Amino acid sequence: MTKTIYAYHNGTLTKDEASVVSEFPLKLTVNGRELATLIASPHDLRFLVAGFLRANGFVRSVTDFEMLSVCPDMSMANVRVKGEIPEKLKPVLTSGCGTGITFTLPGSDMPHGSALPEVRSVRPADLFALMEELARRAEQYRTHGGIHSAAVGEGGTITLYAEDLGRHNTVDRLAGEALLKEINLTGLTLVTSGRISSEMVAKAATLGIGVLVSRTSPTDMAVRLAEEQGIMLVGYLRGGRFVVYCHHELLDCSIVV
């Protein structure tokens, strides 16, 4: 939306027009049960819903959906999936913007050690290329601040791009678009503009992501989880530098000890 604003500079208040990021609440009902209200940006909501359900373990493939209906005018998404929704769900508030939500499902089968993704060595130049392309796309589509962006790619080339006011939502959007378009993300690199938290690493592991990269920092829990899941975790990638927090052996470069 566009709003009249007043900008202060050097003792003067000037009237202007500015775009303000949209915050869209979407009530999600699955198999007749109200599951959550997602706070997100208002575009491509089918990808967001499908990715949220995939990342939380409710679906694994596009064939698990019997119905996927999103009505933006009513701020509602009505979904029917194969199987039953567990009676007891443990909601976890995420650290993302707007406070998102994830679920811990009974019998969750997130990979542990034996099911690590097959990841080829990654060149530093490719990581820089992916982050630069992420920044270019963000500048191309962005008309205001307050938006996070993320992408998945390989060899310096972006495969899918997403943006949202919540950084965890960007990962859900990538997961949903890949699911509905039947794109395999196993072993790919995920780059994000935001901080990497443990729930983002958990979602990346569910998708089979091999490398997770941010312009900023990861949390301590994110580092521990990435170590367990075999994901190379990279932070502070900017200005020709970056920090590898775990699984540096996946990096194709010489190492000086």
CB 168 within 8 A of CB 94: yes
Q: What's the predicted TM-score (pTM) here? A: 0.83
Q: How far apart are CA 167 and CA 201, in angstroms?
A: 12
* Domains, the chain, with CATH or none: 24-104 (3.10.20.10), 124-250 (3.40.140.10)
Q: Are 236 and 216 in contact (CB under 8 A)?
A: yes
Residues catalogued as catalytic: 97
pLDDT per residue of the chain (257 residues) written in tens, 0 to 9: 677 766 766 767 588 887 767 788 999 999 999 988 888 888 899 999 999 999 888 999 999 999 999 998 889 999 999 988 877 665 554 545 444 566 554 444 444 443 455 667 889 999 999 999 999 998 765 555 678 999 999 999 999 999 998 888 999 999 999 999 999 999 999 999 988 988 899 999 999 999 999 999 899 999 999 999 999 999 999 888 899 998 988 888 876 65
Angle of helix 198-207 relative to helix 167-180, nearest 10 degrees, comes to 10
Q: Contacts for 244-253 with beta carbons within 8 Å, 24 or more apart?
A: 245/218, 250/119, 250/121, 250/122, 250/210, 250/211, 251/121, 251/122, 251/124, 252/121, 252/122, 252/123, 252/124, 253/123, 253/124
